[in-house]
Amino acid sequence: MKFTAAKGTRDILPGEVEIWQRVEACAHRLFTLYGFREIRTPIFEPTELFGKSTGADTDIVIKEMYTFPDRSDRSLTLRPEGTPGVVRAAIEEGLLRRGDVERLYYIGPMFRYERPQKGRYRQFSQIGVEVFGSAHPAIDAEVMEMVVALFTSLGIESARLMVNSVGHPGCRPAYREALRAALLPRSDELCADCRRRLDVNPLRIFDCKVPECGRIRQEAPVILDYLCQECGDHLRQVRECLEALEVPHDLNPRLVRGLDYYTRTTFEVASDRLGAQNALCGGGRYDDLVASMGGPPTPGFGFAIGADRLVMVVAEKGACPVPADVYIVHLGDAALKEALSAARHLRRRGLTTRLDPDARDMKKQMAKASAWGARQALIIGEQELTRGAYALKRLADGRQVDVPAGNWDEIKREVAHGGQDALGA
Ligand code: HAM
């Protein structure tokens, strides 16, 4: 019997993992610069949490959750997104203090039972942030600027930021009715799901992926024409702050995101390098969510980046192998023991070191050294042992020097020196 990974999941192998590490390290560094602190919440939560936050009539909750009873018959769900768990934790752990702004970020796996395709998986990873405690439009702009800065620092030029407002519970009913009135006469042309949405929550029609529904949507009224004064002002100020921060963006009046909790600002970053699943990041403001989940009234703003998609875009620019600083070539049994000891000492001194005990002759080992991208080879043979000196050979140009056997600090210095020369420093 042959086992394969479950549908919609995949193994991330060495070679690709280095790109993940780079992306995650960049996120940790940048978010810290902006005052964010990391939070790690459980991967499963009580099922009711998601109906209450993501929204009972969203596609995620109706069709996409991995829900199961545990052995005590409690209904649990693998988190389909990070926001509900972070809000729950912030309330439960007392992180929301009046007058304070709390900035949190998270990186980890999410689960949605969706139809797998390029860039869409059933287990995927998100890099997300949530800011609690400020309704100021400058927060929206600052956080969007941070997303753009992350993409820029990873060398991504193809990302487009799109911004919209979905209003607040005061101004949304009028829009909902206008949308229903405009679409009702064409309900025969809509898919079965959208006909149901028209009844329950017409805004959810914007989530539909059926092309015909998309065409009909293009002719529907847009929410921007229905915003109240305050929501309109908020959007204007967000855009002014974005301009002050020199963040290029487009207003996209049809950007209504597939989660229920948004109020006012919503945004997405898309990349044309990704094909159909082109959303790299989505987020927005959720000023009523914390209170609706039993917490103190606390405005919120956040986003999540699809890390799998981000890695795909970064990988296009070329993989980044982690080259070894030194490859140790050993010739003979006594030399192998010396080589093992050399590897231990050099690793302790922070040098990435490889050796292959099975490889015997010089030629094979030098070939392996290049295959591993090693900058230099430390050669230990019978001759070197007798002489009390190893040979250190630079792979780029074949330059070879003697280094004193057993003097690890001196060898480390020589390796660093030779490596720098090789880089032209
Ligand atoms: P979302 O738009 O559902 O928002 O997901 C954010 C990002 O996760 C998407 O833009 C996409 O890159 C990635 N993503 C979603 N589903 C998949 C999938 N099946 N496979 C691969 N990547 C996927 C949220 O999740 C909100 N919690 C964002 C947020 C945080 N809003 C406020 N705070």
Distance 293 CA to ligand 1 centre (A): 21
Q: Which protein residue has the closest C-alpha to ligand 1 atom 12?
A: 306
Q: Which protein residue has the closest C-alpha to ligand 1 atom 4?
A: 282
Residue among 78, 81, 269 whose CB has most ligand 1 atoms within 8 A, to mutate: 81
pLDDT over 90 (residue 84): yes
Q: For 151-184, what is each residue's pLDDT tens digit?
A: 999 989 889 999 999 999 999 899 999 999 999 9
Q: Which protein residue has the closest C-alpha to ligand 1 atom 14?
A: 306
Over residues 260-285, the mean pLDDT reads 93
CA distance 296 to 98: 8
Amino acid 319: pLDDT: 53
CA distance 80 to 122: 9
The more confident residue out of 425 and 254 is: 254
Distance 257 CA to ligand 1 centre (A): 10
Residue 396, C-beta contacts closer than 8 angstroms, at least 6 positions apart? 375, 422
Over residues 282-303, the mean pLDDT reads 97
The mean pLDDT of the chain is: 93
Tell me the two tokens of residue 38.
Answer: 């990391």
Over residues 329-335, the mean pLDDT reads 93
Left, alpha or beta for 43 (phi > 0: left; psi -120 to 50: alpha)? alpha
Cβ(335)–Cβ(386) below 8 Å: no
CA distance 265 to 165: 4
Indicate the pairing of strand 376-381 with strand 75-78: unpaired
pLDDT over 70 (residue 351): yes
CA distance 339 to 227: 72
Over residues 129-134, the mean pLDDT reads 98
The DSSP secondary-structure symbol of 6 reads P
Residue among 118, 124, 204, 301 whose CB has most ligand 1 atoms within 8 A, to mutate: 124
pLDDT over 60 (residue 425): no
CA distance 158 to 360: 48
What band does 24 get if pLDDT is binned at 50, 70 and 90? Answer: very high
Predicted TM-score (pTM) of the model is 0.87
Indicate the pairing of strand 159-165 with strand 265-271: antiparallel
Residue among 287, 309, 311, 312 whose CB has most ligand 1 atoms within 8 A, to mutate: 309
Q: What is the CB < 6 Å shell around ligand 1?
A: 81-83, 112, 114, 119-121, 124, 126, 128, 130, 257, 259, 279-284, 302-304, 306, 308-309
Q: Which protein residue has the closest C-alpha to ligand 1 atom 2?
A: 282
Helix (H, G, I), strand (E, B) or coil at 102: strand
Report which ligand 1 atom has the smallest distance to the Cα of 268: 10
Distance 219 CA to ligand 1 centre (A): 26
pLDDT over 70 (residue 223): yes
